[in-house]
Amino acid sequence: MTTALITGASAGIGNAFASQLAARGNDVVLVARDEERLQKLAAELRAQHNIAAEVLAADLTDTGALARVEARLADAARPIDTLVNNAGFGSNGLLHELDVDDETREINLNVVALVRLTHAALGPMVARRAGGILNVSSIAGMQPTPRNATYGATKAFVTSFTQSVHEELRGTGVRATVVCPGFTRTEFQERAGIDSSRLPGFLWQSAGEVAAGALDALERGRAVYVPGTMNRMTAGFVSVLPDSVTRRAAALVIKFSE
């Protein structure tokens, strides 16, 4: 039996990853701050899929809690075969009007925790010459994102970082994939203070669609996976247009959604 550790597993895409990994026969280690939600999800997954589900409640912006998750990943006696770095959050507004401590916390979760957990997982995986890491980024990381400046920058880091690690792992038997979703129906927008009700339905995907495609991409050894036709078109346009165009277009989309 293989084991997957999923951060941000209590809701949204993380919940979908946990459910689909369990359905594919993996034991799971569920990581998030909300222990009550995690315990409920763990009970559901045990009952539905006859797998082991471990709960590890942790705020990954807390150094002590982060260290506990790193230790779990590094535990050779209880190997983790797949790490899904999904935990993260965004903020919305003009940078100079936002709380800088919240912005720093966003960087610590979206970037620092992801790097430390990836590092902790890779040692045992490379030693076993098997394993996979799936890092959740965003198409927001492919262009400047006015009013989401910190979020977009953290996701740009995740995309670049994961592609570099993917290449470093060539020939080791270990895979690393970054998934870059677009608008996905989760609690993310509400928590970020974004009213996205005016955006048309065709722009949206479900968390289940994103998770299923990402897991398939990891299994195939892809470096980057952009789910959804509209998102792939957006990524293609962004790659050839100058930043002066993409940053203004991004600002208009955010303004329209508010």
Catalytic residues: 151
Task: Report H helices in the chain.
Answer: 12-23, 35-49, 63-74, 100-107, 114-128, 149-168, 188-192, 207-220, 229-240, 243-257
> What CA–CA distances, in Å, run from 142 to 91, 239, 241, 247?
17, 8, 11, 10
Q: Which residues pair with 54 in a beta bridge?
A: 29
Residue pair 81/133 in contact (Cβ under 8 Å)? The answer is no
Alpha carbons 170 and 252: distance in angstroms, whole number: 40
| Residue type at 168 in one-letter notation | E
For 54, phi then psi, to 5°, come to: -100, 135
